[in-house]
Amino acid sequence: MTRRHRNRCPRCSGAMVYERFQDMLDLFYAWRCLNCGEIVDPVVARNREPGKTLKKRAAG
């Protein structure tokens, strides 16, 4: 997320909070929307950057 839009959810424009998340192996920090639950971490933000080309999937 860009610094300018960090406080607003990209999905619903709700307020975002910076939280700590943990799975079985990793500990990471990400932004979570208080309204819809959208989670945006650095990997998600990088993949959503404009100008990224989408890979075509094989049919089937």
Residue-wise pLDDT for 13-54, tens only, equals: 999 999 999 988 989 999 999 999 999 988 888 888 887 666
55, part of any domain = no
Q: How far apart (Å, rounded) are the C-alpha atoms in residues 33 and 39?
A: 7
Residue-wise pLDDT for 3-17, tens only, equals: 555 589 989 999 999
Tokens found for residue 31: 């932004």
54, part of any domain = no
23, part of any domain = yes
Q: Domain of residue 33: give its range.
A: 3-47
- Report pTM: 0.66
CA quadruple 5, 46, 53, 8: dihedral, nearest 10 = -20
53, part of any domain = no
16, part of any domain = yes
| Domain count for the chain | 1
Contacts of 21 (CB under 8 A, 6+ apart): 27, 28, 29, 30, 39, 41
